Amino acid sequence: MALRDIKPTRSELINLKRRIALSERGYKILKMKRDGLIIEFFKVLEEAKDSKSELAEKYERAIQMIAFADTVEGSIGVKSAALSVHEVPNIALASKNIMGVVVPEIESSKVKKNLVDRGYGLLGTTSAIDEAASAYEDLVESIIESAEIETTMKKLLDEIESTKRRVNALEFKVIPELTEARDFIKMRLDEMEREELFRLKKIKARNA
């Protein structure tokens, strides 16, 4: 189709300008969201580093304590104490919102127990069992905390990538294409106005 055959209207130009304005506004909002999510991600990343270090320390201590208890009580004594525990930790999964991203919030109870609630007889065991039980309770709490942080990191990272793709699409594809279309329509409307003006002048000259 020849350029002369394309005859856009003023309303098309106005609609394009509105779409560009909306796209630019959306671009700014998404860019702010992306930057905010990145800041939140690095905050959680610092928590993850601390959590990972703490988890490793508690794991090492739990291994040491169970080995010590096994030496003092014997494997049968340790298994007997473990099997006597009837109450298991209660874990409830809630959620919280970080800049529009729903992330998990794990709530746990009955992880840390006192000596009576652990179920094994106090008279038939030594403090080695108590130390081992306490070390593993600490480890379980740390695992739950780490699971929440790791899942939060993954969800934030997924949202950052999604937002980044939308920002790039607006910046490098949608807005440039709309701008190019606007400029073309404006140019064509200006040409049509000049052609109409020229036509009217010719008519006026003939009738003079």
Are the C-beta atoms of 97 and 40 separated by less than 8 Å? no
> What pLDDT shows up at residue 123?
60
> What pLDDT shows up at residue 106?
83
Express each pLDDT in 72-113 by its tens digit.
Answer: 888 888 888 777 777 777 788 888 898 889 988 888 777 777
Higher pLDDT, 48 or 110: 48
Number of alpha carbons in the 13 Å side-chain half-sphere of residue 73: 25
Kindly report the pTM of this predicted structure. Answer: 0.77
In the chain, the domains with their CATH numbers are 21-161 (1.10.287.3240)
Calpha distance 1→6 (Å, rounded): 8
DSSP H helical ranges for 84-174: 127-169
Token pair 């404006």 in the structure block, residue = 186
What does the buried/exposed string (b/e) look like for 87-112 if buried means 16 or more CB atoms within 10 Å of the residue's CB?
A: eeeeeeeeeeebeebebbebebeebe
> What pLDDT shows up at residue 29?
95
Start-to-end CA span in the chain (Å): 37
- Angstrom distances, CA of residue 179 to CA of 22, 87, 103, 187: 12, 66, 38, 12
> What pLDDT shows up at residue 3?
52
Express each pLDDT in 126-152 by its tens digit.
Answer: 788 889 889 988 998 899 899 999 999
